[in-house]
Amino acid sequence: MARKKVILGGIIFTFLVGLNIKIVDAQTSENLTIPTKEVIERLARIEENQKSIQRQIDDTNRRIDDMNERINERIDDVNIRIDDLKGDIRELKSFVLWGFMLMCTGMFALCGFVLWDRRTALLPTIHEMKELAQQGEKVEKVLREYAGEDTKFAKAMRAAGLL
């Protein structure tokens, strides 16, 4: 039963509030009669404000475009500098590579010169050793022949292990 009273009270309250809102709306619409001249003036002011806002937007867009151009110029400058640095790095690599190749060539030339110098320095000694060996063979041959004639000398050579 209490529920029915609450539901009935809610329905009545809603009806009265809805009725009150309609009355207020009707009163405000009756008071809103504005002369046509004033409406035209207000519309003209609104149009002027819109034009002013449009000019501000256009000005802002122009500034943004100018900033974009400056940013693009800076980016182009940076790209040019990067390309220049890449070229410098390529030149440096080439320079280092040529220097390394030149140094290796110099080292090989030095090794070749050292080997050639050793060989040329040893050649006279080798020839001298060969001549001494030939002379030693000749002396040994002569001594053997002389040992065949002299028995005392032959004993001395046998003792030295030369016969």
As a whole number, mean pLDDT of residues 77-95 equals 89
pLDDT digits (tens, 9 = 90+) for 58-73: 999 999 999 999 999 9
Q: Report whether 123 contacts 129 (CB < 8 A).
A: no
Given a cut of 90, is residue 26 above it in pLDDT?
no
CA distance 90 to 84: 10
Q: What pLDDT is attached to residue 121?
A: 81
pTM: 0.39
- Range with lowest mean pLDDT among 28-37, 40-49, 103-112: 28-37
pLDDT digits (tens, 9 = 90+) for 99-145: 999 999 999 999 999 988 888 888 888 899 999 999 989 988 888 88
Q: What pLDDT is attached to residue 4?
A: 66
Q: Report whether 163 contacts 154 (CB < 8 A).
A: yes
CA distance 158 to 147: 10
**Cα 126–132–134 angle (5° rounding)?**
105
Q: What pLDDT is attached to residue 161?
A: 82
Read off φ and ψ for residue 32, nearest 5 degrees: -90, 20
